[in-house]
Amino acid sequence: MKREYPDAPIVGVGAVVVYEGRVLLIERANEPLKGEWSLPGGALELGETLEAGVVREVEEETGLRVKPVGVVKAFDRISRDADERVRYHFVLVDFLCQLSEGQSADGVRCASDAVGARWAGPEDLEGVRDFTVQVIQEALAMDEEMRRDG
């Protein structure tokens, strides 16, 4: 299915990978959001579960293996062109993720759809879109609560 001017919404997954109070951000290589810092993620493949998709996307974009531990948020991202036609329509499910056992936060390497990757604290999110910052804040609170209860 084509991503730009699609015939139907595309299901996408995103990962808020938390490590020592910081989150993994990637610099996007392609539209939408080309050149912007965002969460790793992408479109689900036919027959793939949400969890498998987020694991695959993180590994493809950063080389890291992660474990999804919960859904942070599900929402629509709809972008329209100057004529109000739907240019992009994604239904996104963002997951709180932890590094898989044996993974090091230092092992980040850019691949596929990412031209940069970095770990960012809550104070290092300038230039990140507001909706992404909101998801990150919710995920950090969720992570903190899980660690307290856990």
Written as six digits, the tokens of 132 are: 């992404």
With a cut of 50, which residues of the chain have pLDDT below it? Answer: none
> Has residue 134 been placed in a domain?
yes
Q: Please give the Cα distance from 72 to 128 (Å, whole number).
A: 18
**Whole-number pLDDT of residue 111:** 75
> Has residue 4 been placed in a domain?
no
Are the C-beta atoms of residues 44 and 11 closer than 8 Å to each other? Answer: yes
**Whole-number pLDDT of residue 14:** 97
**Whole-number pLDDT of residue 65:** 95
**Whole-number pLDDT of residue 89:** 95
**Whole-number pLDDT of residue 70:** 97
DSSP string, 60-126: HHHS--EEEEEEEEEEEEEEE-TTS-EEEEEEEEEEEEEEPTT--GGG----TTEEEEEEE-GGG-T
**Whole-number pLDDT of residue 106:** 83
**Whole-number pLDDT of residue 39:** 95
**Whole-number pLDDT of residue 102:** 82
> Has residue 2 been placed in a domain?
no
Q: Please give the Cα distance from 138 to 135 (Å, whole number).
A: 5
**Whole-number pLDDT of residue 82:** 97
Phi-psi region of 33 (alpha: psi -120 to 50; beta: other; left: phi over 0): left
> Has residue 34 been placed in a domain?
yes
> Has residue 3 been placed in a domain?
no
Residues 6+ apart with CB under 8 A from 77: 12, 32, 88, 89, 90, 92, 131
**Whole-number pLDDT of residue 71:** 98
> Has residue 102 been placed in a domain?
yes
> Has residue 5 been placed in a domain?
no
> Has residue 41 been placed in a domain?
yes
Q: Please give the Cα distance from 80 to 102 (Å, whole number).
A: 43
Q: Residue 73 belongs to a domain with what CATH number?
A: 3.90.79.10
Total domains present in the chain: 1
In terms of residue numbers, what domain contains 63?
10-149
